[in-house]
Chains A and B, each alone.
Chain A
């Protein structure tokens, strides 16, 4: 059964249609990547799947249950869906460790000692355990982003959504974040990633989807989609992105 699934998902802001009917699902252990030009609705799609905004049409299912009609507590489901944002959005008054602990303590009601233990484990997984007692302002963008990943990871979510986590980082910092994400994918963490890091997508994705104009135009295994996209728009986008590789 799919962890997260949507059917005919739609979102409009006033007259502006951002998502025009998306069908998508991701199963336990899978890594799926979404690519597409900016303004194609990728971030909006991810925010809807993370239950951070309600859709204006269509349905979202978490482990088979329609999240908006079966009377579920949305906060309980949100706790099971990790989210990593484009901008490192750490709580600025908390150390790296406390940033990772806050969800465990407030939402999952884990006691302090266990929260510390789990948080340190998550920080280790992103290679940030030595920075546990530093505040966000004392960390680089890449380090902040890795703490953000640890914060999501520590909740032991069923899926983690990544919204272009390296878009605001320079190349060197991008690598350290991508390395961590590669580790997670290999550990079997279920991941849905919006990114333009094609090497990463090629190596770990089970499927890549190309989005444009608020729709998924095509999906396929990395080799097929990257080498021989079927739609002209995906072909044009990939030619530009890969710069003639």
Chain B
């Protein structure tokens, strides 16, 4: 069991993978909700800006985005940043672009008649958003959001191109040192698999806890 000698490295790498996934998803959630709101309720200039942002991050490979941010930001701004910061920012922006699409659909799924009803009660725009639109949008978005979790979680392996020591990067160096690529990469794949299926189970549980009759989603994905 040569792998035991490297287990602490693998654990460290997996920890980094988790951290990057949650930072990317969390930041992407904030960016996604804000850009969805901007796209639905904003003016023309704001909508064009959001459109360009989403187009860029959904229309180019994550690896190219990582390389671009990690290597070109220091040369343009003169500020050096490490792989961790560059990777986090890129993942957030990338995930935000996808999450924007999911949230926009969910916000628009709250029917106009409810907005009019809120208005008739004297609720302000912000009260309506907070108490009527977002609580429904968050529930409707869960299945698509689950997909984003899986997709971003697995995509963190792209961080290998900027040398961040997450699970894939670590595995590659162990494989190189031990000359046992088959065992190392099989184990790595297994770790991703177990992690993702456990997460899916957990998210399913969350979904059933917050489910409301009549707000089920004909899960287009998931």
Chain A: number of interface residues, binned into ranges: 20 to 34
Query: B217 interface residue, CB < 8 Å from A?
Result: no
Given contacts A87-B113, A93-B136, contact A138 B121 (CB under 8 A): no
Q: How far is the CA of A90 from the CA of B212 in the complex (A)?
A: 14
B193 to chain A, nearest CB (A): 35
* B116 engages A85 (CB within 8 Å): yes
Chain A residue at minimal CB-CB distance from B130: A106
* B117 engages A107 (CB within 8 Å): no
* A89 engages B123 (CB within 8 Å): no
Task: Point out the residues of chain A lying under 8 angstroms from B139, CB to CB.
Answer: 93
A-B contact count (CB 8 A): 79
Task: Point out the residues of chain B lying under 8 angstroms from A138, CB to CB.
Answer: 213-214
Q: How far is the CA of A152 from the CA of B118 in the complex (A)?
A: 11
- Residue in contact with A93 in the complex, picked from B119, B120, B127, B135, CB distance below 8 Å: B135
Given contacts A92-B114, A136-B214, contact A83 B120 (CB under 8 A): yes
Chain B: number of interface residues, binned into ranges: 20 to 34
Query: A102 interface residue, CB < 8 Å from B?
Result: yes
- Residue in contact with A75 in the complex, picked from B123, B131, B214, B215, CB distance below 8 Å: B123
B125 to chain A, nearest CB (A): 10
Query: B60 interface residue, CB < 8 Å from A?
Result: no
Instruction: Tell me which residues from 164 to 222 in chain B have a Cβ below 8 Å from any Cβ of chain A.
Output: 212-215
Query: A79 interface residue, CB < 8 Å from B?
Result: yes
Query: A241 interface residue, CB < 8 Å from B?
Result: no
Instruction: Tell me which residues from 100 to 136 in chain B have a Cβ below 8 Å from any Cβ of chain A.
Output: 111, 113-114, 116-124, 127, 131-132, 135-136
- Residue in contact with A106 in the complex, picked from B117, B131, B136, B214, CB distance below 8 Å: B131
* B122 engages A135 (CB within 8 Å): no
Instruction: Tell me which residues from 66 to 109 in chain A have a Cβ below 8 Å from any Cβ of chain B.
Output: 75-83, 85, 87, 89-93, 102-103, 106-107
* A75 engages B122 (CB within 8 Å): yes
* A79 engages B122 (CB within 8 Å): yes
* A50 engages B120 (CB within 8 Å): yes
Task: Point out the residues of chain A lying under 8 angstroms from B114, CB to CB.
Answer: 89-92
A121 to chain B, nearest CB (A): 17
* A52 engages B214 (CB within 8 Å): no
* A91 engages B132 (CB within 8 Å): yes
Query: A10 interface residue, CB < 8 Å from B?
Result: no
Chain B residue at minimal CB-CB distance from A102: B131
Chain A residue at minimal CB-CB distance from B136: A93
* B117 engages A91 (CB within 8 Å): yes
- Residue in contact with B116 in the complex, picked from A52, A90, A106, CB distance below 8 Å: A52
Q: How far is the CA of A90 from the CA of B114 in the complex (A)?
A: 6
Interface residues of A (CB under 8 A from B): 50, 52, 75-83, 85, 87, 89-93, 102-103, 106-107, 135-138, 148, 151-152, 155
A-B contacts, 10 listed (Cβ < 8 Å): A75-B124, A77-B122, A81-B120, A83-B117, A85-B113, A85-B120, A90-B114, A102-B131, A103-B122, A138-B214
Q: 7 tightest CB-CB pairs across the interface, nearest first?
A: A137-B214, A79-B122, A89-B113, A103-B121, A83-B120, A78-B122, A75-B122
Interface residues of B (CB under 8 A from A): 111, 113-114, 116-124, 127, 131-132, 135-136, 139, 212-215
Identify 11 new A-B residue pairs, CB closer than 8 A, beyond the known A89-B111, A92-B215, A138-B214: A75-B122, A76-B122, A79-B122, A89-B113, A89-B116, A90-B114, A93-B136, A103-B121, A135-B212, A135-B214, A138-B213
